[in-house]
Structure 1
């Protein structure tokens, strides 16, 4: 499928705001499955245009503070969701378990934390954090041997109390026991995103959906392919 075959209304985030950092975890091995996920043929954030434009507006709010948004996941093809379900039936990888779901069995992740029918597939949902403007991700992969509930950010994210895809109550937006810095960072993210039409999923501080959704009842399965060199999607 070519980039030009994306459904009407979908865009590459880079074409709307190239200043928003992208760390598309499911396009590579740095995720809870420890391998690239089917459907992610390029490390690109794809969204419906309304969500991309709203994200650009949120980025404009953060820049004067010396901060930037960073997205970990955006549109997610249905085939990727199916791959997550298949992964749940495989034996555990001890390091992946420790980092992403230290106190849960794989089977408990569905549907509590990983949906079998994901809102990401509708194109308006994304996973996002805040990073210092102009910073670079640390040259590291997952923090093997350290529980996600205890580790400091392994990338350039500000400290949110857990890393991305930490399937644990500590990742709940209003989780107790956070440090003042972690609470401030979470509050800032929620505030800036909500000002521009994004609703937070309360069990995951990084998870937001733009409302109203242009495709509230449609789950797409087109693969994410490289962005055309011309920048036109």
Structure 2
């Protein structure tokens, strides 16, 4: 009888473990979130806020590992984008997904320090740092903290090169507006391709940033999270 009970207990624990793995609990994430590389392992990940190649010039608070987190709904929709691009020899490069509120506050502190302009030439050459709040480039809350917003571009799978989008990721200024008619025909075509494939898979674009998309029916439209990426 004791052996039977042990066997039953083992089966129950195994089922519970499998359930927790399926829903991400083994990674210490809330149930509705997942690590994107578990869902789209063949995407390229360039997590800018984990390193120093970003507009601040240093690793951002809350980014403890070089991974991207999204809600499960957003990750599933994004997997559809990757699948749709693959037959054309194209794929996704992901820059950012879920962003802890601590990271947003790090941006705010940086923006308030007008003396720190070490990354100005690369990321905001035509924008005065004192105007970043006024012009909406920096805010005390970000849709990224709700978990269903992603920053990304398209790459050529054969070469690994990004398609020409006219600016780099996180470039502050009108050149990054998706519908900027001053961009070349090729740049506008590449931006249109990214927009169309994202919209077709359930995302909505941002009019000021060609790389920024939010799941239209995001599961947490009013909730801003602060668990760290680790």
**TM-score normalised to the size of structure 2?**
0.85
CA distance in 2, matches of 1:24, 1:84: 16
CA distance in 2, matches of 1:32, 1:168: 13
Query: Secondary structure of 1:213's match?
Result: coil
CA distance in 2, matches of 1:95, 1:162: 19
CA distance in 1, matches of 2:58, 2:203: 29
Tell whether 2:62 aligns with 1:57: no
Q: Is the 8 A contact 1:73 1:126 kept in 2?
A: yes
Cα shift at 1:102 = 1.1
Aligned to 2:63: 40
Query: Secondary structure of 1:29's match?
Result: coil
Q: Is the 8 A contact 1:20 1:71 kept in 2?
A: yes
Deviations 1:164-186 (A, max 9, x none): 00010110010121111101100
Q: Is the 8 A contact 1:109 1:167 kept in 2?
A: no
Deviations 1:174-233 (A, max 9, x none): 0121111101100000000000000000100000001201011110000001xxxxxxxx
Tell whether 2:10 aligns with 1:5: no
Cα shift at 1:119 = 0.3
Aligned to 1:17: 40
Cα shift at 1:115 = 2.8
Q: 1:182 aligns with which of 178, 187, 193?
A: 187
Query: Secondary structure of 2:70's match?
Result: strand
Aligned to 1:130: 154
Aligned to 1:90: 113
CA distance in 2, matches of 1:101, 1:11: 32
CA distance in 1, matches of 2:138, 2:155: 25
Task: Please give the residue correspondences for 1:1-233 in structure 2 after superposition, counting only pairs within 5 Å.
Answer: 4-110=27-133, 112-136=136-160, 156-225=161-230
- More off after superposition, 185-194 vs 100-109: 100-109
- Structure 1 stretches lacking a partner, 5+ long: 137-155, 226-233
- More off after superposition, 31-40 vs 96-105: 96-105
Of Structure 1 and Structure 2, which has the larger fraction of its residues in helix?
2
Q: Is the 8 A contact 2:110 2:116 kept in 1?
A: no
Q: Is the 8 A contact 1:170 1:176 kept in 2?
A: no
Aligned to 1:146: none
**TM-score normalised to the size of structure 1?**
0.84
